Amino acid sequence: MLRRSFVGIVVLSLVWTVVAGAQIKEMPKTPVKPLNARIVDINTAPEADIASVGIDRPLAKKIVEGRPYRNKRDLVTRQLLTKEQYDKVKDLIVAKRSPQK
């Protein structure tokens, strides 16, 4: 009788573990922006600021020379950045348009 109760408790605890585990959702994997990071506008920022977000200096110079950009994705479509490079910096850059005259 004692053995049957023990087996029942073990089975119930295993079932509870499976049920509780099914309730836990995985946290979304979103990139975390460093606390001291600021957003850099690729249409107005100097080369040094563009390089500060993790873009190589020669590439930052090409970005400055290629202005203006309609949106930050232009860096990939104009083949200045690879998709992987873009994914690393996309949350740190913007491409604001200058006001229309």
The pLDDT tens digits for 46-81 are 999 999 999 999 999 999 999 999 999 999 999 999
**Structural domain count, the chain:** 1
Q: What is the DSSP letter of 44?
A: T
Q: What is the CATH number for 44? A: 1.10.150.320
Q: Tell me the C-alpha distance between 87 and 73, whole Å.
A: 10
Tokens of 7: 């087996």
pLDDT at residue 39 tops 60: yes
Q: Is residue 9 part of a domain?
A: no
Q: Is residue 51 part of a domain?
A: yes
Percent over 70 (pLDDT), the chain: 73
CA dihedral 44, 46, 48, 31 (to 10 degrees): 0
Q: Tell me the C-alpha distance between 58 and 3, whole Å.
A: 74
Identify residue 96 by its one-letter amino acid code. Answer: K
Q: Give the model's confidence band at 10: pLDDT under 50 very low, under 70 low, under 90 confident, else very high.
A: confident
Q: Is residue 101 part of a domain?
A: no
